Amino acid sequence: MLLDVICNLDFHFTPEDLQTALADQGCNMALTTIYRNLPSLENAGIIRRTTFMEEQERGASTYEHIWGKPHHDHLLCQNCGQKIEFQYDALEVLQEEVARQHGFTLLRHHMELVGLCPQCQESAP
Amino acid sequence: MLLDVICNLDFHFTPEDLQTALADQGCNMALTTIYRNLPSLENAGIIRRTTFMEEQERGASTYEHIWGKPHHDHLLCQNCGQKIEFQYDALEVLQEEVARQHGFTLLRHHMELVGLCPQCQESAP
DNA sequence: CTGTTATTGCTAATGATATGCAATACGTAG
DNA sequence: CTACGTATTGCATATCATTAGCAATAACAG
Ligand SMILES: [Mn+2]
Ligand SMILES: [Mn+2]
Ligand SMILES: [Zn+2]
Ligand SMILES: [Zn+2]
């Protein structure tokens, strides 16, 4: 059930979002159970924790469904909270380059770009 | 005193690290007070919160002294926790490019590269 | 059907951070 | 310096996300 609900969510979600989505399907799962299962799903490569430094002040961490989807990073609007997913291979290549320069083997990265979306640039200039 | 201690720390620190460093100088400051003053120092551009997704699981957030220092990002060793600071202008340029492609005005970013340092590559291959 | 093991829910513990408030330090006008 | 209003502290307590303990329940295998 948990897996099913996760696969049908297309946006980033918190453990509580999952509980709500499950409840909508008639499945009442304790939050504790959800918290207990998230690490397994993460290790299995089905979800990824995407807690953004930008929104970290207070509040639960967020995850996203990544099974079968290509890697992407995020662009966030500081004002409206909108999240845009992007892929930019040249960036990934440069990250590898930085790691190599320091003799590191790069395993993964977390990159978030924070700015103002087109709409928010106008309304709050 | 707080400001003084921060300026003499050259590594990333937690609020508790600050308390310890202050105590070493003979100044006993309540943790509450430190927590209360960190946001001001951050707004003033003296420190920056650098909580890494990599070490976020449990534990306090970390800050670093940035006043007068040029911008940098971090390369972390997953195994030994070592942090390396780097500047790589080409990366920053590409980040701007991504933002522009989506009509965003880029304000800041958070990037952490996680991998294995040279030493840890040998000991845990 | 029955004993064995894995998963759940409930409740209470943790640990970082925030808040209420009274006590103290500070800065300034007299 | 001296008294008073304001800003800053410390202490105790609240919050809130996440975890742990444990007994109840479901899943599984023979
Ligand atoms: Mn995403
Ligand atoms: Mn740094
Ligand atoms: Zn916006
Ligand atoms: Zn290492």
**Span A32-81, pLDDT tens digits:** 999 999 999 999 999 999 999 998 777 899 999 999 999 999 999 999 99
CATH of the domain spanning B70-125, picked from 3.30.1490.190, 2.40.160.60, 3.40.50.170, 3.30.365.10:
3.30.1490.190
- Residues A77 and B104 sit within 8 Å (Cβ to Cβ): yes
Task: Enumerate the residues of chain A whose CB falls inside 8 A of the CB of residue B106.
Answer: 113-115
Q: Which of A84, A73, A87 is nearest to A120 (CA)?
A: A84
Task: Enumerate the residues of chain A whose CB falls inside 8 A of the CB of residue B39.
Answer: none
CA distance B26 to B24: 5
Q: In chain B, pLDDT over 70 holds for what percent of residues?
A: 98
pTM of the predicted protein model:
0.91
Q: Where are the beta strands (DSSP E) in chain B?
A: 47-49, 63-65, 73-77, 83-86, 105-116
The torsion angles phi and psi of A69, rounded to 5 degrees, stand at -90, 150
CA distance A113 to A77: 9
Per-residue pLDDT of A75-125, as tens digits, reads 999 999 999 999 999 999 999 999 999 999 999 999 999 999 999 998 866
In this structure, whether the domain defined by B1-68 belongs to CATH 1.10.10.10 is answered with yes
Q: Is the pLDDT of residue B115 over 90?
A: yes
Domain boundaries, chain A: 1-68, 70-125
Per-residue pLDDT of B67-76, as tens digits, reads 999 999 999 9
User: ∠ CA(B120), CA(B121), CA(B124), 5° rounding?
Assistant: 75
Rounded mean pLDDT, A3-19: 95
Nearest nt to the A33 alpha carbon by C1': C8
Per-residue pLDDT of B4-47, as tens digits, reads 999 999 899 999 999 999 999 999 999 999 999 999 999 999 99
Q: Is the pLDDT of residue B125 over 70?
A: no
- Torsion over CA: A33, A73, B113, A59 (sign): negative
Q: Is the pLDDT of residue B58 over 80?
A: no
Q: Do A86 and B102 touch (CB under 8 A)?
A: yes
Q: Which of A91, A87, A80, A43 is nearest to A63 (CA)?
A: A43
